[in-house]
Amino acid sequence: MMEAIQAQLPVLQVVIPLLAAPLCIILRRRSLVLPFATGVCWLTFLVSVSLLGDVLEAGVISYALGGWAAPWGIEYRVDALAAFVLLFVSGIAALVLTYAPRSLSDEIPASRHYLFCTLYLLCLTGLLGIAITGDLFNVFVFLEVSALSSYALIALGGRRQALPAAFQYLVMGTIGATFILIGIGLMYQMTGTLNMADMAARLPAAEGVRTALVAFGFLTVGIALKMALFPLHVWLPNAYAYAPSIVSAFIAATATKVSVYILLRFMFSVFGLEFSFEQLGLGRALMPLALAGIFVASTAAIFQRNVKRMLAYSSVAQIGYMVLGISFATATGLTGGIVHLFNHALIKGGLFMAMGCIMLRLHSVDLDDMAGIGRAMPWTMAAWALGGLGLIGVPATAGFISKWYLIEAALEQGSVLVAVLLLLSSLLALVYVWRVVETAFFHEPSERAREAREAPVSMLVPTWVLLGATVFFGIYTAYSAGVAEQAAEAVLGGLR
């Protein structure tokens, strides 16, 4: 029995949240739906833990959907990278939903809670599906599942600006998805297959053909839009700033990371290192954009009054770090990029969760209203400061590990300039983090801050778990950087 379940784990990873989503609509009652959805998320997390264990022990797992063998049917394929992404996406989903009840009652009308849970689970289904599938068209389908549900999730935000923000995201996201679909269509036309491994084997014959080049272009731009790579990031700040706190925490920690995963899959596993980087020089195109993104977005973050918006701009900068790591196309660079996927997911998830606590007590996330809040909400703001240290990359936090790998990768390639720029960019992060910390701890309390009290324990504990994990993974890196190294090797090795 256990073995039978074990064999079905790859598909259960996606099917469990997919089945649970419509069940939420049928259950409907708030008191039933939330615990049910939370339980489902934790179950999904357990599946991903078990999958990662299997992959690290026994290598790549392949699963044939519907019993149709790989090049013809849809294949689910779990390698070290996919398992790593599955793990942190499902883990953060579970933790955020555990934290959610109080914040949810405060920000979303009770009559919509069952719809929220349905959308949340669908979004999770899509993100997990993207990571696990080995089929190109399936990637697009899951991309749309997660994107459509996240537009609706963002639109649930209480302020009026949430609607235009969601609409802008919808327009930009749809353009991105369309580009990706056009790219996939052209590649299908070239090779006659949709299976990633099969396509990777057939593409060399088509290299140099203009169709393949056009497909490559469409895919690069489409994915860049989805992951909010500078200068295609304009949809992101508003979407993150005006979404409900829980949605910001979940989407900021997972959605763009999964898009980075898609980039890795397409450029390394399907097109291959040689074609993408040596022939077409993708690295030379990505690196300046990544660096520009880091500096422009960090600078923009410094001038934000809305702290959630500030964190959103910081996210754009962090995407820059991940893409920078990828643009080196070396084992160290990729490890840096991949481990930053994980580390930044923890840090940003935790920071947005702390902002959710602030929102609950202050009903505002403006910096002016947050003045002196450190006195009323010491635990929340201490957690925030801890996350901020991670963003800067202070030693003994997870952010330090990422930057260490990135700087090492830059020095390996002899680009001292990039290493120096990386260090300088940390100073910008220091400025925007310090601005909030200073206002919260050393300014006279604002009117709202005087009336505030500490956030409920049910919200503080998950926040601290996530931000505590950033310290844990800043010191003990076997399960973050260690796995990321294996993932980087798997990616560089291509699909075999």
Residues near another protein (CB under 8 A):
4, 8, 11, 15, 18-19, 21-23, 25-26, 63-67
The least CB distance from residue 29 to another protein, in Å, is 13
Tokens representing residue 447 in the block: 């009117």
Instruction: Give Cα separations from 73 to 63, 266, 307, 464, 483 (angstroms).
Output: 10, 19, 47, 43, 29
Are 37 and 99 within 8 A, CB to CB?
A: no
Select 145 or 316, whichever has its Cβ closest to another protein. 145
Phi, psi of 64 (to 5 degrees): -95, 115
Given the structure tokens 């839009």, which residue do they identify?
225
Q: Is 163 exposed, middle or buried (0-12, 13-18, 19+ CB in 10 A)?
A: middle
Shortest Å, Cβ 360 to another protein:
28
Nearer to another protein, 66 or 414 (CB): 66
- Rg of the Cα atoms in the chain: 21
**Closer residue to another protein (CB): 117 or 190:** 117
Minimum distance of another protein from residue 11's CB (angstroms): 4
CB 26, min distance to another protein, A: 5
DSSP string, 291-302: HHHHHHHHHHHH
CA distance 452 to 447: 9
Residue 364 Ramachandran class (φ > 0 left, ψ -120 to 50 alpha, else beta) = beta
> Closest CB to another protein among 11 and 282?
11
* Closer CB to another protein, 24 or 241, in the complex: 24
Instruction: Give whichever of 30 and 435 is closer to another protein, judged by the CB atom.
Output: 30
When the beta carbons of 26 and 427 are compared against another protein, the nearer one is 26
Please state, in angstroms and rounded to a whole number, the distance separating the CA atoms of residues 128 and 103.
25
**Cβ 198 to another protein, closest distance in Å?**
19
- HSE at residue 110, side-chain half, CA atoms within 13 A, is 6
Q: How far is the CB of 495 from another protein (least distance, A)?
A: 21
Distance, in Å, from the CA atom of 120 to the CA atom of 251, rounded to the nearest integer, reads 10
Nearest distance, CB of residue 24 and another protein, angstroms:
8
Which amino acid is located at 161 in the chain? Answer: Q
